[in-house]
């Protein structure tokens, strides 16, 4: 096997696959990336941790057909540090040589036959989603995915479509984020799936540049996400080079909790507040709140909210933020981090916060009414 490809393309292929390879696995081959030539002259790169897999066909010059697996991280580090220009990868028996410019590396590979097979989309029915829309949905919800792997049913994002809206919901048991985007084009089928945390992160990475549509389809407990990704920027009169990239994630089998039931309706106190001012005040005040609970108190009165914290081992802090509110006074405690996270992802100038009692959830909404955040209070 002998292939020649540009540094940019090689490093783009490895950037997209090496993050999926599993360095901690007891199966050594999972930390490798599979590189195999295609009959039409391009090169396929693939990686898997058995739950999440990625493969893409990247433009290259194939001098001799063949396939090999190489340690993904090491290879990526080598390629990234090479000078701009063409890189040659040559396999001769067990010896793999990577060379470019005046540098030369010899690496140990593992045979491609031992690499686990990557699920093929086959006859999966795909639907199209705008990459900007999907990226926005992930941005606004991924922060509240539970990081607790022992609770698999919330260690991922619920992703649904019902023909009219696309919906993404995440929760960690203390807070919840839901975004619903109305679709201009309609007609694709109903679906509901829970995509694991790591898969969500990788999907986000493949939406980075370009405006090519994303294709999504599910089959046999896995979701396939397909997109043409840019591997080499456009140069002068040459168009950008692209590669067809497919991400396959096993779906979470356990059922997502009944989220509709915990989104309160009929909250009687409605507060409209400048997002940046509240965000900054919370960041400042939480500096002195307890490291572990990050508890802050909201004292709501007509026209203002006072954010305060009292930490016996550090000191106190408080700040008054003007709000649009004319209801009765109330006091409620929250983990500042939960509010900071949700305010951070909302783009609008103002946000709406709806409250009821001091032990009842707070609802955070954007003005466009696509986002609903639920934050459970803390007894302070």
**In the complex with other proteins, which residue's Cβ is closer, 46 or 378?**
378
Residue of 218, 333, 363, 366 interacting with other proteins (CB under 8 A) = 333
**In the complex with other proteins, which residue's Cβ is closer, 243 or 375?**
375
Residue 293 engages other proteins in binding (rule: CB under 8 A): yes
Residue 265 engages other proteins in binding (rule: CB under 8 A): no
Residue 257 engages other proteins in binding (rule: CB under 8 A): yes
**In the complex with other proteins, which residue's Cβ is closer, 293 or 301?**
293
Minimum Å distance from CB 58 to other proteins? Answer: 44
Question: What's the rounded Cα separation, in Å, for the pair 260 and 123?
Answer: 33
Residue 254 engages other proteins in binding (rule: CB under 8 A): no
Residue of 6, 171, 197, 222 interacting with other proteins (CB under 8 A) = 171
Residue 378 engages other proteins in binding (rule: CB under 8 A): yes
Name the one range near other proteins by CB under 8 A: 79-87, 160-168, 276-284, 371-379. Answer: 371-379
Residue 175 engages other proteins in binding (rule: CB under 8 A): yes
Minimum Å distance from CB 172 to other proteins? Answer: 9
Binding residues vs other proteins (CB under 8 A): 171, 173-176, 257-258, 262, 292-293, 295, 333, 335, 359, 361, 374, 376-380
């Amino acid at each position: 096997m002998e292939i020649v490809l540009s540094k940019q393309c090689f490093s783009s292929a490895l950037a997209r696959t090496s993050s999926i390879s599993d360095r901690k696995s007891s199966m050594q081959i999972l930390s490798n990336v599979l590189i195999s030539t295609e009959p039409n002259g391009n090169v396929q790169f693939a990686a898997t941790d058995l739950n999440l897999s990625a493969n893409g066909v990247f433009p290259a010059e194939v001098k001799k057909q063949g396939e090999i697996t190489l340690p993904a991280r090491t290879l990526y580090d080598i390629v990234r540090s090479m000078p701009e220009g063409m890189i040659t990868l040559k396999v001769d028996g067990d010896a793999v040589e990577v060379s470019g410019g005046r540098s030369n590396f010899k690496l140990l590979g593992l045979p491609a036959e031992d690499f686990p097979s990557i699920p093929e989309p086959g006859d999966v029915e795909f639907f199209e989603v705008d990459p900007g829309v999907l990226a926005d949905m992930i941005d606004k919800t991924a922060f509240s995915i539970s990081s607790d792997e022992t609770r698999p049913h919330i260690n991922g994002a619920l992703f649904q479509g019902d023909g009219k809206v696309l919906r993404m919901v995440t929760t960690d048991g203390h807070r919840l984020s839901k975004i619903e985007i109305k679709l201009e084009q309609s007609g694709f089928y109903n679906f509901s799936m829970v995509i694991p945390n790591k898969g969500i992160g990788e999907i986000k990475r493949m939406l980075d540049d370009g405006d090519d549509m994303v294709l999504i389809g599910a089959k046999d407990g896995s979701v396939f996400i397909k997109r043409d990704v840019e591997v080499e920027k456009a140069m002068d009169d040459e168009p950008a080079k692209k590669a067809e990239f497919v991400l396959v994630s096993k779906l979470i089998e356990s059922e997502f909790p009944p989220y509709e039931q915990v989104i309160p309706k009929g909250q009687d106190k409605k507060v409209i507040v400048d997002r940046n001012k509240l965000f900054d005040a919370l960041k400042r005040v939480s500096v002195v709140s307890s490291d572990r609970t990050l508890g802050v108190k909201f004292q709501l009165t007509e026209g203002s909210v006072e954010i305060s914290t009292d930490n016996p081992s550090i000191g106190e802090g408080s700040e008054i933020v003007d709000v649009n509110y004319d209801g009765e006074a109330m006091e409620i405690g929250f983990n500042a981090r939960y509010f900071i996270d949700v305010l951070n992802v909302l783009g609008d100038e103002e946000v709406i916060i709806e409250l009821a009692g001091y032990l009842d959830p707070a609802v955070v909404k954007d003005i466009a009414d696509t986002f609903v955040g639920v934050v459970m209070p803390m007894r302070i």
